[in-house]
Structure 1
Amino acid sequence: MSDQATRPVASAAKSLPKKAAFDFRKYRPFAFAPLLPDRTWPSKTLEKSPIWASVDLRDGNQALIDPMTIEQKMRFFETLVEVGFKEIEIGFPSAAQVEFDFARKLIEENHVPDDVTLQVLVQAREHLIARTFESLKGAKRAIVHVYNSTCRIQREKVYGKDKDEIKEIAITGAKLLVEYAAKYPETEWVFQYSPESFSQTETEYAVEVCDAVCDVWQPENGQEVILNLPATVEASTPNVFADQVEYFCRNLAKREHVTISLHTHNDRGCAVAAAELGVLAGADRIEGTLLGNGERTGNMDIMVMAMNLFSQGIDPELDFSNMSEIVQVVSECNNLPVHPRHPYIGELVFTAFSGSHQDAIKKCLDYNEKHIEETENVWDVAYLPIDPAHIGRSYQDVVRINSQSGKGGVAYILQRNYGFNLPRWMQIDFSGVVQKQAETAARELQNDEILQTFEDTYLQQGSFELLDYTVNNKGGKVYFNGQVQMNGDTINIDGTGNGPLSSFIDGLAQHTGKSIHVINYAEHAINPQHSDVNSDGNGIDDGTNTDNKTNANAAAYIQLNVDGEVYSGIGTCSSTVSAMLKGALSAFAQAVNTAAA
């Protein structure tokens, strides 16, 4: 044996570098919460939609590995217009030629509807501001959004300036906007200012800076002004951000003359919550992106916030009824995938695998269909906050089946997709069959697999077939006479009972010598859209079996006790009588085949 084979192997712990300590003591609690013991926002509720401003083409675009081309930005812009956005930030024209060219294309080629306002971003520097106004020449109405950072960490470590010096940058930027706007009087100008990193700025200082900007712009004299409060880095819980917003709104000198806007980011995963609470705290306007694309962990997802309002019966004033196409445009232009659990639009967000969830969904939908007047057609379904149909989603994927699924989910799929409304005892019986199949496959089962298993288990009699029959009423009794094929032999069946089913069962028992009793029976009409499911047209209502229709208009569910064991079967046919007899024969065939095996 070689030295290589006998040499001891070094332990993994010794061969890998030691991990740095996961030391929470390196961090400090959030330190910029204003003192607001009489806060009012917790007692308020959202009652209307805020003003929406999409920043997909700027903030969203800056966050992409490969920024959008002009063609992609144009496609995205047109989608935003179709959704209903009236304020759209189109880019940072002073930062790159493609950004400047896109602004010019929109204006010179008349792509901007009269009721849509373009918005652009610019730092508080004169040469950048000059270039920005040049990019907007000829626009009917435009928002010029100027900003500079005001938070402590950037004042001290990035700019090396004190509070007064940082405020002066903001004042200078505000004056430059007034100066350059005067050079383009044909455009209706809206001025917007952001104290960048408002979320990490002392709130009273943010008010001081914005008051100084308003003193330059004089919104009380008619100049339209937006003050935008960015959570550039989400650093606190949403309630603290709401306190910051309410404090700001209370203490801003010219609050009644300006629009307060919010621009939340998602570093803590709470951007939507922070925006919603911020509106309760007094904000009028929300900036964000569709699906939340943005720097680091992303921007506030306007689609989610708008749909949250929609789910509460509030008009979001944005149209997401064609959600699948909107999502396709966003994902293709951004070259980013959509998470399958993304709120409202993910592939799986309306899907239930859990058996208890599936059962509740099925029962709610069934109840609502039967009690339309009582429910006043108001959406009220367990586990589904909105009707998927409102955003262009079908019910096909509401319930999907794996090993965690239960009887309600299986029954839902068979009912919604194929027209089989299984009675409870049949649901219990078949759910066990499906669960075993899913466990064996170790994956989700497709709808067509479930249907095939259903047919194989209950609808296929194999070598058993109802060939021909008649039923006659004489002297208060029903007499059955017919032919049944069993394992290649044609058997004459004669029986007597109080109805077609009991007389047929009597005939089977006499011929086979088995003890046969009906335990459960149910039937229903099959919806016309599902009427082509596994029907051979055997039999008609009067029992003469002379038609050869190809549509199954009825389904019958039979559960038999055969020699002490329980078996279930289903029959479908244009005739309710034939469906019933075929269901009984299917259950009996299972008994015979099981005994033979």
Structure 2
Amino acid sequence: MLRDPSVKYRAFPQIDLPNRQWPSQSITKAPRWLSTDLRDGNQALADPMDADKKQRFFDMLVKIGLKEIEVGFPSAGATEFDFISGLVRQDRIPEDVMVQVLTQSRRDLIQKTFESLEGARTATVHLYNAVSPAWREVVFNMDRAGVKALAIEGAKMLREEAEKRPDTDWRFEYSPETFSTAELDFSLEVCEAVQDILEPTVEKPIIFNLPATVECSTPNIYADQIEWMIRNLSRREAAIISLHPHNDRGTGVAAAELGLMAGADRIEGCIFGNGERTGNVDLVTLALNMYTQGVSPELDFSDMEEIVKTVEYCNQIPVHPRHPYAGELVFTAFSGSHQDAIKKGFEAQEKRNDQFWNVPYLPIDPADIGASYEAVIRVNSQSGKGGMAWVLQQDKGLRLPKAMQADFSRAVQKKADEVSRELTSADIWDAFQKAYRLEGAQYFELMTFSEQGRAKSDGQRVFTGDVKIGHKVTPISGRGNGLISALLDGIREAGAPEFEIIDYQEHAIGAGTDARAAAYVQCKTKDGRTVFGAGMDSDVATASARAVISAANSVLAA
């Protein structure tokens, strides 16, 4: 890299736009959306989609709710032409969907383009030619007049071909390609010339696509360019201003958002932003950004997992695990502090029980796009007590007391360090059972028990039962002011060490006839150690007794 890049690269110039209005505007409604996955996205693939994949992608776009779909470049080859004409012939285009095709400003290409749409109810033909200095001078060796003439000639051919096919409701789009790096006055001049030829009306407006064909400036400059064009375009009421931002600087979504604030009406992009170089603007991110601001994008991403599968299959490109809203890990927290905040956020959300979403680190409710809460928090060596507690709650329905969470987190941390990988819910459950002696060989194992009412002599409750000690079943009995104290008295007689219960908590797991109970005890031994126990059963008394036995085994194992 150069120590002084200014000797090779020039800063993009600012736009002279006094009293710009877009910075104080907000996006309050969805734009018109156009998916160009089947054209711009497809031409950017190492292995372009075949007809079956294009049809599958098209059907998905319709299901999402796209009403305008650029289906291809008919003059590019037989595969493109046959797919587009097949959509028309086989009546696969819903009545409320407008298909669009792209063509350069050449007679043979324009003719082929119209032929592909023979018999369509309605369609948009998208004409483009590059207008910026680099393309004029380097690619075409044309001056301004020559480039403008090319656009005018193309517009005339559009009218001619459309007039030959009056049964189709034809719509037209014109792109001054490379708009973002062209002189604004020249882009306006060419657009006005095309508008003069096509004579749009309010009822049948022309679409002017103002693309950031190559993103060369900060998004605010692109917004200035859009507002400048809108301010200066004659017959604005007969024009739809469309944006086609690319992502060369990584700010395609921001450019689109600011462009909408500048007054644009329509967005062209791809699902997950596939496209040439760094891609087109990402329609999913852009639409769900609006959604999180309370604006309906009028698109349906409620089954994001299926959309990801379809796009990955058709494009043969994986969706990055950190892709906004759609990535496998995008709602996942491994960090302990993040996990704790998310866990508390869900708890507060449940208690608050109002309609507004307010959970730390989650700008959108994962459930709104079909994601499960189980994947929100995952555990590895970076995780804290909140993470493993969340996993147990989601997977097993256990809501560990706060002190027990801290105790159990040490066991989870030890296991994570041992295996040096993310822990699964099965790993965490295994660690829980081992930490609180719920499985395997135990010193004490509760077999049967019964709790009697208060004895007349001293008013205490009586516990009787059988405990397996080693391989021997031993009958026990004890007295206390409740079940737990009576059980403690009984197991002490059977050889259990001295400890006292300092905290007891219980809760239901599930509801209805299938509900179970979970019980937790926090204990203190004679030498001052703190030990925990846990028990689960369909009966709350049995769950409580199992928690005491769990604690007794933990004391003996320590």
Same fold flag (TM > 0.5)? yes
Residue type at the aligned position of 1:385: P
Cα distance in 2 for partners of 1:513, 1:188 equals: 88
| Aligned residue in 1 for 2:530 | 566
Tell me the equivalent position of 1:448.
426
Aligned-pair CA distance for 1:98: 1.3
Q: Which residue of 1 aligns with 2:151?
A: 170
Find the aligned partners of 2:496 and 2:375 in 1 and give their Cα distance.
Answer: 47
Deviations 1:530-558 (A, max 9, x none): x9xxxxxxxxxxxxxxxxxxx77211101
**1:275-424 → structure 2 map (5 Å cutoff):** 275-372=256-353, 375=354, 377-424=355-402
* Corresponding residue to 1:556 among 497, 509, 519: 519
Segment of structure 1 superposing worse, 36-45 or 488-497 = 488-497
Q: 1:155 — aligned with what?
A: 136
Contact 1:124 1:148 in 2 (8 A): yes
Q: Deviations over 1:177-210 (max 9, x none)?
A: 1122111111111111101011111122211211
Give the secondary-structure state (helix, strand or coil) at the position aligned to 1:396. Answer: helix
Say whether the 8 Å CA contact 1:480–1:504 is kept in structure 2. yes
Q: Say yes or no: does 1:585 pair with 2:549.
A: yes
Equivalent pair of 2:497/2:552 in contact (CA under 8 Å): no
Mapping for residues 73-152 of structure 1, pairs under 5 Å: 73-152=54-133
Equivalent in the alignment of 2:450: 470
Counterpart-to-counterpart distance in 1, 2:421 and 2:73:
48
**Count of aligned pairs:** 552
Deviates more, 1:100-109 or 1:514-523: 514-523
Which residue pairs with 1:8 in the alignment? none
Cα distance in 2 for partners of 1:497, 1:133 equals 92
Query: Which letter does structure 2 place at the counterpart of 1:425?
Result: A
| Percent identity between the two aligned chains | 50
Number of the residue aligned with 1:515 = 498
Q: Select which of 240, 252, 272 maps to 1:271.
A: 252
Q: 1:223 to 1:522 in 2, by over 3 A?
A: closer
In 1, are the aligned partners of 2:12 and 2:216 still within 8 Å (CA)? Answer: no
Gaps of 5+ in 1: 1-19, 532-550
- Alpha carbons 2:223, 2:255 under 8 Å: kept: yes
1:353 offset after TM fit, Å?
A: 0.7
Contact 1:83 1:318 in 2 (8 A): yes
Q: Deviations over 1:478-507 (max 9, x none)?
A: 233333222234444343322111222233
What is the Cα deviation at residue 511 of structure 1?
A: 4.8
Match of 1:242 in 2: 223
Cα deviation digits, residues 410-442 of structure 1 (max 9, x gap): 111111111111110111111111011111111
Cα separation, 2, equivalents of 1:71 and 1:511: 73
SS in 2 for 1:191: strand
- Paired amino acid for 2:451: V
Partner deviation per Cα, 1:386-429 (whole Å, 9 max, x = no partner): 22222222222111110111111111111111111111011111
Matched residue SS, 1:66: coil
Q: Normalising by the residue count of structure 1, what TM-score does the alignment of the two structures yield?
A: 0.89
- Give the whole-Å Cα distance in 2 for the aligned partners of 1:108 and 1:322: 30
Q: Which amino acid aligns with 1:469?
A: F
Shift of residue 370 of structure 1? 2.9
C-alpha distance in structure 1 between counterparts of 2:328 and 2:435, whole Å = 31
Question: Does the CA contact (< 8 Å) of 1:509 and 1:516 recur in 2?
Answer: no
Moved more, 309-318 or 228-237: 309-318
SS at match of 2:74: coil
**Structure 2, gaps ≥5 residues long:** none
Matching residue within 431, 435, 451 for 1:457: 435
Change (3 A) 1:186 1:22: farther
Distance 1:28 1:178 in 2: 42
- What amino acid is aligned across from residue 411 of structure 2 in structure 1? V
Displacement of 1:220: 3.9
